[in-house]
């Protein structure tokens, strides 16, 4: 019966103990970019100095993997003018075009999410304002709860701030 059970013996490798050179020789460019980024994620100076290398490696993979590395990287390193100038200087023309295409997509996604969050926050503020106005007009808390879909506990918290 033991012959049919899978072997769950995993070897754990600490990325911090691996040299950058060892990661750079990986044949999978995405994996090299992702592992380097993860290894140095708390070292923003290193990431900034090596951003072109990471992006160049990431661009060699498929579209979704590229996006994943860029999202992870730019969630930890703000793309400043200096970084963008460095990339402009260090990436070749096809790499720049592909990078800017991906970067524009990421910005569009961020704008869409921001708009969605803004709409949700606006709706929530409207519900709160409606609850407060109804309360000031003398409407019972039970009716306000039904109208705004706030629980009685939520309404108590909201109306304390009135």
Specify the pLDDT at position 11.
65
Q: Walk along the chain (162 residues) in steps of 10 and give the mean pLDDT of each run.
A: 70 83 92 93 92 92 85 87 90 91 86 84 89 91 90 91 66
Specify the pLDDT at position 60.
86
SS3 per-residue string spanning 2-23: HHHCCCCCCCCCCHHHCCHHHH
Specify the pLDDT at position 45.
92
Per the structure block, which two tokens stand in for 113? Answer: 């999410």
């Amino acid at each position: 019966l033991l012959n049919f059970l899978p072997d769950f013996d995993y070897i754990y490798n600490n990325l911090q103990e691996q040299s950058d050179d060892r990661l750079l020789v990986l044949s999978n460019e995405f994996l090299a970019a992702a592992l380097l980024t993860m290894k140095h994620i708390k070292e923003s100076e290193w990431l900034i100095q090596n951003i072109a290398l990471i992006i160049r490696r990431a661009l060699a993979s498929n579209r979704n993997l590229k996006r994943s590395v860029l999202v992870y990287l730019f969630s930890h390193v703000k793309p400043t003018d200096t970084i963008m100038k460095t990339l402009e200087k260090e990436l070749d023309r096809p790499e720049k075009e592909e990078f800017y295409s991906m970067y524009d997509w990421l910005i569009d996604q961020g704008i869409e999410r921001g708009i969605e969050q803004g709409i949700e926050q606006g709706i929530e503020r409207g519900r709160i304002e409606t609850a407060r106005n109804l309360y000031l007009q003398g409407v019972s808390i039970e009716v306000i709860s039904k109208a705004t879909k706030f629980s009685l506990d939520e309404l108590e918290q909201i109306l304390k701030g009135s």
